[in-house]
């Protein structure tokens, strides 16, 4: 473990805040979607909220990410408390499952626009540590979007795929789902496989920052993000 310098401690705090908010937004998306179609279970359980406390898992949201940040400087992987619902209709389940990753994209776009606004108005320098943290929040949320849509249980993409495939394939899909968690771990642990979701995340981030640079006149911000995150 590297020495816990003030800079390292600051990054750990920033990283945990970014992760907590990203997971809260993701799980809120599931809960809100279920609530909108009439499933009141998430509301009764207090999940239709952006309060991170309602969605945090002690191990997946707090302990593991904190250990990764303290030892490697990265978040590694984590998860939030799953949102429970009683919906059985396949199409509605697809809607609920997709809502979580969709909220991550919305958060990523919102943070990028806020980032560009702060730079364009002179409130924030492009090379400030907060600027890097905001960029990290953007790419993390795009990574969460693409990773969670991998068509394998227990990820959201597994539920989306199950809701879209023909009914005659469901038995075979459910047999495959038993082994799907091992496939998910392979994508997490093998860098070459991880490019399946990290490459499109970086591509989307690059396009997003180029777009906001054109709107806000912050080309230096887009260039800085490209250098820092190797877009």
List CB contacts of 21: < 8 A, sequence separation 6 or more.
Answer: 52, 107, 137
| Rounded (10°) CA dihedral 222, 109, 73, 145 | -130
Main-chain phi, psi angles of 56, to 5 degrees = -75, 135
Cis-peptide into 177, omega within 30 deg: no
Residue 182 tokens read as 């091992």
What gap in Å lies between CA 105 and CA 88, rounded to an integer? 26
CA of residue 99 relative to chain centroid, distance: 12
Termini Cα distance of the chain: 28
**Residue 106 buriedness (CB in 10 A; 0-12 / 13-18 / 19+):** middle
Which residue numbers are catalytic?
A: 27
Main-chain phi, psi angles of 78, to 5 degrees = -160, 180
């Amino acid at each position: 473990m590297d020495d816990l310098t003030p800079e390292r401690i600051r990054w750990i705090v920033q990283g945990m805040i970014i992760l907590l908010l990203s997971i809260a937004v993701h799980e809120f998306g599931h809960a809100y979607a279920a609530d909108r179609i009439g499933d009141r279970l998430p509301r009764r359980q207090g999940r239709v909220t952006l309060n991170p406390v309602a969605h945090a898992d002690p191990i997946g949201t707090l302990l593991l990410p904190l250990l990764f940040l303290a030892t490697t400087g990265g978040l590694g992987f984590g998860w939030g408390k799953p949102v429970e619902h009683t919906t059985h209709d396949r199409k509605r389940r697809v809607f609920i499952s997709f809502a979580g990753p969709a909220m991550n994209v919305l958060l990523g776009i919102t943070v990028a626009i806020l980032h560009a606004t702060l730079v364009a108005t002179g409130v924030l320098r492009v090379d400030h540590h907060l600027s890097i943290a905001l960029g990290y929040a953007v790419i993390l949320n795009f990574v969460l979007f693409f990773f969670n849509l991998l068509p394998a249980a227990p990820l959201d993409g597994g539920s989306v795929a199950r809701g879209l495939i023909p009914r005659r394939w469901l038995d075979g899909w459910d047999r495959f789902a038993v082994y799907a968690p091992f496939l998910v771990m392979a994508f997490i642990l093998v860098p070459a496989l991880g490019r399946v979701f990290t490459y499109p995340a970086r591509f989307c981030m690059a396009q997003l920052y180029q777009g906001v640079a054109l709107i806000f006149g912050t080309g230096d911000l887009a260039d800085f993000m490209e250098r820092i995150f190797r877009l």
